[in-house]
């Protein structure tokens, strides 16, 4: 009788174990497409056997007690996860940089008719055309319009580049807010995970959520993670702790007057500066503080030298009324990233354009010719480069940066995809495998249920039919 009751317990325990296995499989299938989910498995082990004493002349020894779920295994490799995060940070940096540089490239628009080189050529051509007929008011008006278009081209580029730079500044602030939010979530998850592990439970879904947060953190900052025996994740940024156990540290932003009032990042607790070396933040800082200022500086130098050369030559000439020419351009420089180039108010009347090289000679266009010849003046790079060549070199160098960022973004993305595929092969859910496991678990469950039914029939015979022989 006791053996039958033990058999009932064994069959019921086995059914419960296979029911748990089916639940785990169902959980895997439900999350097959969930980003960051790691496949789980109910690891089955034999139950603790029981000893039996001698019964009559027979000694059985130990009897098995069926099967139990030992623990819920979660697939994944910490080393592979670290590789993915490292590559994720690099890929995010170059992708972010490539996206922003594409915006800058569109702003410069050197391929279209509104390119600055085309505007420079139109300006030089306007002077050359005016030299042939300096008293022609229509030609003077055309030259003034070409000069205005050139000044507008400079100013529009400055405004657009500064706007893009300000956008990146805002993106940096948003990234810092997101980092702080992630740090808080990871600290909270650390607490819950350590509690679960302390209670001898497997907090696999909590770990998955923490891994998703850490992946995003790596994408933004390239932050590194070390796991402690207690189950907590120790997170650092640039050697500074971001999360220790249940404690999260905070990044803050402040304005840097020395950098056009752009934000800089520091740690709230100790005031130490934080410098991004990888991830989206590194791409944002590189474009904001290096690439865009270089473009603005190049435009500023070009506008400054151009205005100086044109104004100097224009002052040597005479207008239609025989008056010496004044400034042609007004160049205003206010900071390392801001300037304006405007036409002098003296040119409100196009008759004041000094095309002649001598006074009271309205038909003389020699100064206009000299102005056109400024196109070939070696005024840039300490007297080694013309205006057009200087800007052409600048945009060529920038084009190489755009191409490099695009290539790096593509290359790192390919490597990242390969690592993610390798990661998925280790921890991803295969619906075919889960279907096969489900069938096996179902058959085992049915077999245990059949055993239980058989034992029930045996007990029915033992209890209800014993002593009824002969009736």
pLDDT in tens, the chain (471 residues): 556 677 777 888 888 888 999 999 999 999 998 888 989 999 988 888 777 665 555 556 677 778 888 888 888 888 888 999 999 999 999 999 999 999 999 888 887 778 999 999 999 999 999 999 999 999 999 999 999 999 999 999 999 999 999 999 999 999 999 999 999 999 999 999 999 998 888 899 999 999 999 999 999 999 999 998 888 999 999 899 999 999 999 999 999 999 999 999 999 999 999 999 999 999 999 999 999 999 999 999 999 999 999 999 999 999 999 999 999 999 999 887 899 999 999 999 999 999 999 999 989 999 999 999 999 999 999 999 999 999 999 999 999 999 999 999 999 999 999 998 988 888 889 899 989 999 998 998 888 888 888 887 887 777 777 765 555
Radius of gyration of the chain (CA): 39
**Which residue do the tokens 């002349």 mark?**
57
Strand partners, 266: 252, 273
CB atoms within 10 A of CB 373: 14
| C-beta separation of 149 from 170 below 8 A | no
Among 180, 271, 253, CA closest to 221: 180
What letter does residue 290 receive in the DSSP assignment?
I
DSSP strand E in 142-228: where? 224-227
CB atoms within 10 A of CB 289: 18
Burial of 132 (C-beta count, 10 Å sphere; 0-12/13-18/19+)? exposed
The reported pLDDT for the residue numbered 313 is 97
C-alpha span between 467 and 39 (Å, rounded): 56
Among 242, 218, 292, CA closest to 262: 292
SS (H, E, C) 400-463: HHHHHHHHHHHHHHHHHHHHHHHHHHHHCCCHHHHHHHHHHHHHHHHHHHHHHHHHHHHHHHHH
| C-beta separation of 150 from 336 below 8 A | no
Angle between helices 387-427 and 292-315 (to 10 degrees): 170
Measured CA distances, 384 to 93, 272, 381, 393, 452 (Å): 36, 44, 6, 12, 96
Among 399, 411, 398, 397, CA closest to 94: 411
What residues have CB less than 8 Å from 172, skipping those under 6 apart?
A: 253, 263, 265, 281, 284, 285, 288
The reported pLDDT for the residue numbered 368 is 97
Strand, coil or helix: 41: strand
Structure tokens at 197: 């592990």
Residue spans per domain, the chain: 2-76+427-465, 83-407
Strand, coil or helix: 195: helix
The reported pLDDT for the residue numbered 59 is 56
C-alpha span between 447 and 456 (Å, rounded): 14
Among 189, 249, 217, CA closest to 86: 217
Burial of 404 (C-beta count, 10 Å sphere; 0-12/13-18/19+)? middle
Four-CA torsion 91, 94, 95, 98, nearest 10 degrees: -160
Strand partners, 55: 58
- DSSP β-ladder status, 247-248 and 251-256: unpaired
C-alpha span between 437 and 179 (Å, rounded): 40
- DSSP β-ladder status, 240-244 and 247-248: antiparallel
The reported pLDDT for the residue numbered 65 is 79
Measured CA distances, 185 to 50, 84, 146, 150, 350 (Å): 46, 21, 58, 53, 67
C-alpha span between 446 and 459 (Å, rounded): 20
Q: Taking CA 263 as the corner, what is the angle to CA 259 and CA 268, rounded to the nearest 5 degrees? A: 130
Q: E strand or H helix at 45, and its extent?
A: strand 40-46
The reported pLDDT for the residue numbered 66 is 82
C-alpha span between 248 and 310 (Å, rounded): 59
What letter does residue 257 receive in the DSSP assignment?
G
C-alpha span between 255 and 217 (Å, rounded): 24
Residue 200 region by backbone torsions, left for phi larger than 0, else alpha for psi between -120 and 50, else beta: left
CA 368 to chain centre: 52
């Amino acid at each position: 009788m006791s053996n039958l009751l033990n058999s009932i317990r064994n069959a019921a325990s086995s059914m419960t174990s296979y029911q748990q296995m089916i639940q785990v499989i169902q959980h895997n299938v439900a999350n097959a497409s969930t980003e960051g989910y790691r496949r789980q498995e109910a690891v089955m082990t034999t139950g603790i056997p029981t000893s039996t004493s001698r019964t009559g002349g027979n000694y059985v020894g130990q009897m098995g007690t069926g099967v139990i779920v030992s623990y819920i295994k979660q697939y994944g490799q910490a080393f592979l996860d670290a590789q993915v995060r490292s590559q994720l940070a690099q890929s995010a940096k170059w992708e972010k940089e490539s996206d922003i540089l594409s915006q800058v490239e569109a702003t410069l628009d050197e391929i279209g008719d509104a390119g600055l080189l085309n505007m420079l050529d139109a300006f030089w051509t306007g002077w050359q055309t005016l030299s042939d007929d300096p008293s022609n008011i229509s030609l003077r008006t055309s030259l003034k319009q070409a000069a205005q278009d050139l000044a507008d081209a400079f100013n529009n580029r400055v405004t657009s580049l500064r706007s893009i730079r300000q956008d990146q500044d805002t993106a940096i602030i948003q990234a810092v807010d997101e980092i702080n939010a992630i740090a808080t979530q990871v600290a909270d998850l650390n607490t819950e995970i350590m509690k679960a592990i302390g209670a001898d439970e497997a907090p696999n879904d909590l770990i998955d959520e923490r891994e998703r947060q850490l992946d995003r953190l790596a994408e933004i900052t390239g932050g590194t993670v070390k796991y402690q025996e207690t189950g907590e994740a120790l997170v650092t940024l640039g050697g500074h702790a971001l999360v220790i156990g249940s404690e999260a540290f905070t990044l803050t932003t402040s304005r840097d007057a020395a950098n056009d009032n752009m934000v800089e990042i520091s740690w709230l607790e100790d005031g130490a500066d934080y410098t991004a070396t990888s991830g989206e933040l590194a791409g944002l800082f590189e474009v904001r503080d290096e690439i865009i200022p270089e473009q603005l500086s190049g435009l500023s130098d070009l506008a400054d030298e151009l205005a100086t050369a044109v104004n100097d030559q224009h002052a040597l000439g005479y207008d239609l009324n025989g008056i010496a020419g004044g400034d042609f351009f007004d160049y205003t420089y206010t900071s390392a990233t801001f300037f304006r180039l405007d036409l002098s108010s003296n040119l409100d009347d196009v008759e004041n354009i000094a095309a002649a090289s001598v006074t009271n000679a309205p038909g003389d266009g020699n100064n206009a010719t000299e102005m056109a010849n400024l196109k070939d003046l070696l005024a840039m790079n300490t007297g080694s480069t013309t205006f057009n060549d200087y800007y052409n070199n600048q945009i060529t160098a920038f084009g190489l940066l755009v191409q490099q960022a695009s290539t790096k973004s593509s290359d790192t993305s390919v490597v990242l995809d390969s690592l993610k595929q390798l990661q998925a092969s280790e921890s991803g859910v295969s619906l075919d495998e889960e279907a096969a496991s489900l069938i096996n678990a179902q058959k085992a469950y049915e077999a245990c249920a059949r055993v239980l039914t058989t034992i029930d029939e045996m007990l029915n015979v033992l209890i209800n039919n014993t002593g009824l022989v002969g009736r």
